[in-house]
Copies of this chain bind each other. A is one copy, B any other.
Amino acid sequence: MKYSFDKSLGNISRMISKSLGKSLEAKLTARDIFITAEQWSVLSLLFQKKKLTQIEIGTLLGLDKVQIVRIIDILEKEQLVQRVISPTDKRFKNVNLTPKGIEIYHKIVPYATNVHADAFSSISEEDIKQCLATLEKINNNLKH
């Protein structure tokens, strides 16, 4: 197989990741919502999973614990999430959305959906599914 290094997976994935983040953040700041793409990832993950430790969040999102501390610090200061020390193991802090966090989650969903719609426009649903499935395989391959 021939590899084209300028349009390689690395370059394309970096560009897409950056574009998606910038695009979402632009839409949000235009609405005076000051949430970064990574903060949004944490919010939506917590909405889905209800309660996760910081390490779990980091593992699922591919972010290290220091980054998670920083994101949760900000989200907690904004009262969008809360940290609850686990009663069974005091090292763990369970993080969950506050009512305000759930509210802002619902507020952001349309913009996030919109960004995806832009990204996927004029591409068949099947192609997108296949692409995402392949990306997940690749991502798993790279988890050494």
A1-30, CB < 8 A from B? 1, 3, 5-21, 23-24
* Number of A interface residues in the complex (CB < 8 A): 57
Chain B nearest Cβ from A34, distance in angstroms: 18
Please encode chain A, from 23 to 48, with 1 for each CB lying within 8 Å of some chain B CB and 0 for all others.
Answer: 11000000000000100110011011
A-side interface mostly: helix
* A115 to chain B: closest residue by CB: B10
Among A1, A10, A21, A113, the most chain B Cβ lie within 10 Å of the Cβ of A10
Q: Is there a chain B Cβ closer than 8 Å to A128's Cβ?
A: yes
Q: Is there a chain B Cβ closer than 8 Å to A139's Cβ?
A: yes
Which of A70-78, A83-91, A95-103, A119-127 is near enough to bind chain B? A119-127
| A binding-site residues for B, Cβ under 8 Å | 1, 3, 5-21, 23-24, 37, 40-41, 44-45, 47-49, 60-62, 112-113, 116, 118-123, 125, 127-128, 130-132, 134-139, 141-144
